Amino acid sequence: MKDRSLVQIALYAAIFAVLGLLPKFDIPLAGGVPITAQSMGAMLAGVMLGARRGALAIILLLFVVALGAPLLAGGRGGLGVFFTPSVGFLFGWVASAFVAGWLMEKLRDKAVFPAALVAAVIGGIPVLYAFGIVGMSAMSGLSLLDATKACLIFIPGDTIKAVLVALVAQTVARGLPEALLSRAS
């Protein structure tokens, strides 16, 4: 892997960590899973870096969190976060970034905004929720159906996040197109 790729992966892991500084909102109906800005970080890493680099950025962040760094929303960190109802979302971020990046790569010949929106929505909602719902069910004792119902509260916010990611991608593509690595040949 080139030095430039390593720097880009570290940069997006840092951006993801900064999104964790924004306050989390605890929703009692969601089995203890908070609303955070960090799901947007997974979408953004994938859309901007592509599948492999985007997923690696999230893996890097999760590794640092596992070491104890309080980089998740609300200042959470350490191995304990991997034993909470949020665990499925944590691992889902990796899949979310990978799928969003893969879709951006496949939609390379389409306009940036719609391609990024499709990639962010698919990677950031059904893919992320598939992991999140299973993790929430396993750790909170909710049935899969009840965990799915609890996750419905996240969809409007995650849709807004996907639109923001698409706007960022379009803006970057206009000003610095080579920074949109998911579309590089």
Cβ atoms of 36 and 81 closer than 8 Å: no
Q: How far apart are CA 12 and CA 44, in angstroms?
A: 8
User: How many CB atoms neighbour CB 8 within 10 A?
Assistant: 21
**Angle subtended by helix axes 144-151 and 128-140, to nearest 10:** 120
- The phi and psi torsions of 131 (rounded to 5 degrees) equal -75, -45
Q: Along the 185 residues of the chain, how does pLDDT read in single tens digits? A: 677 889 999 999 999 999 888 766 666 655 556 677 889 999 999 999 999 999 999 999 999 999 999 999 888 899 999 999 889 999 999 999 999 999 999 999 999 999 999 999 999 999 999 999 999 999 999 999 999 998 888 898 899 999 999 999 999 999 988 888 877 75
Is the pTM of the predicted complex or chain greater than 0.85?
yes
Structural domains in the chain, sorted by start? 3-182 (1.10.1760.20)
